[in-house]
Amino acid sequence: MVENQRISTNRWWHKKKNWGLFIFLLFLLIARISKGSLYKDLYFFISKPFWPGQFQREVLTKSIEQEFLLRLDQLEKDNKRLREILSLQRLSDSETISATVISRKTGSWWRQIILNKGAKDGVEVGSFVVGPGGLLGRVNNTSLFTSSVTLLTSPESKVGIWIERIQSHGLLVGLGNDYPKVIFYDKDVDIEVGDFVVSSPASTLLPPNIPIGLIKSVDAELKGQKTANLFLIAKPQAIDWVQILKVKI
């Protein structure tokens, strides 16, 4: 009797195993016929609780906003550079001489560049030189075929400047480093970091409103004199072509 019950139990166990195997094979067959769509749908429901929530959406939104701001900033820089180049192109051929930089000493104390145009091309000592970004310096020496330009960063350089926002004049003096000094005639001038600096409209040798740079930092007042450091827009270490402004007679 006990033996018959054991045989019956074993048969039931075998039946359950067979049913499990049958269901598994049936699932594989359906998955095969549906080309995996059943599996994907099943994965859809299983993974749903683990989908990105509100926090992940906020991170993604912030990333998109940052990308948009970076693209906008790049477009603004490109537009600014194009405007600067166009402002230089507005100078007529009768007012300028185009030249190429053939040598440069932008890291030394003297800080100068040498151009491939000289006396035979009409270049004169005292002529100012501009490039993409704005004013670079002034011609200090010429040969028949070349000319040397003292950069604004040279200790020998002194140029009158103008800040439109505060309607104030100043003097730009090179120090032998990358950031020339701006000296203001008025000690109470309300200068701020980021103020745009251009050539002085009071100059008789240099056209007014040529871009020069931005105020990088303002110094503490010393002996009643207000000074600031300037970040130059034109980069002589990277510029390959320039325009020489002919000396006005």
Please work out, in degrees rounded to the nearest 5, the angle formed at the alpha carbon of residue 99 by the alpha carbons of 98 and 103.
165
Band (170; pLDDT cuts 50, 70, 90): very high
Neighbours of 199 (CB within 10 A): 23
Residues 46 and 110 in one domain: no
Tens of pLDDT, residue by residue over 86-121, are 555 455 556 889 999 998 887 766 789 999 999 999
For the question of whether the overall pTM of this predicted structure is more than 0.75, the answer is: no
Residue 55 forms part of a structural domain: no
Total number of domains in the chain: 2
Task: Identify the H or E element spanning 136.
Answer: strand 134-142
DSSP structure class, residue 233: S
CATH code of 101's domain: 2.40.10.340
Tens of pLDDT, residue by residue over 194-220, are 999 999 888 877 888 889 999 999 987
Residues 125 and 39 in one domain: no
3 state SS of 193 = coil
Closest CA to 233 of 70, 84, 83: 84
Question: Which residues are CB-neighbours of 112 under 8 A, at least 6 positions away?
Answer: 104, 105, 137, 140, 148, 149, 150, 151, 154
Examine the fold and report which residue of 31, 50, 69 is the final residue of a domain before the chain moves on: 50
Residue 67 forms part of a structural domain: no
Instruction: Give the residue carrying structure tokens 């490109």.
Output: 78
Residues 119 and 213 in one domain: yes
3 state SS of 17 = helix
64/228 Cα distance (integer angstroms) = 38
Residues 19 and 111 in one domain: no
- Domain region containing 44: 2-50
Residue 180 forms part of a structural domain: yes
Residue 80 forms part of a structural domain: no
Residues 110 and 226 in one domain: yes
Residue 79 forms part of a structural domain: no
Residues 113 and 191 in one domain: yes
Task: Identify the H or E element spanning 25.
Answer: helix 2-33
Residue 32 forms part of a structural domain: yes
Residue 192 forms part of a structural domain: yes
Handedness of CA 110, 113, 116, 118 (dihedral sign): negative
Residues 141 and 227 in one domain: yes
Q: Phi/psi at 213 (nearest 5 deg)?
A: 180, -165
User: What does R_g of the chain's alpha carbons equal in angstroms?
Assistant: 37
Residues 102 and 188 in one domain: yes
Residues 46 and 107 in one domain: no
Residue 11 forms part of a structural domain: yes
Write down the pLDDT at residue 132: 85
Beta strands 211-218; 227-232: pairing state: antiparallel
Residues 107 and 209 in one domain: yes
196/212 Cα distance (integer angstroms) = 8
Write down the pLDDT at residue 2: 46
Q: What's the mean per-residue pLDDT of the chain?
A: 77
Residues 238 and 148 in one domain: yes
Question: Helices in 34-138 by DSSP H: which ranges?
Answer: 37-47, 54-89
Residues 24 and 126 in one domain: no
* 215: β partners: 230
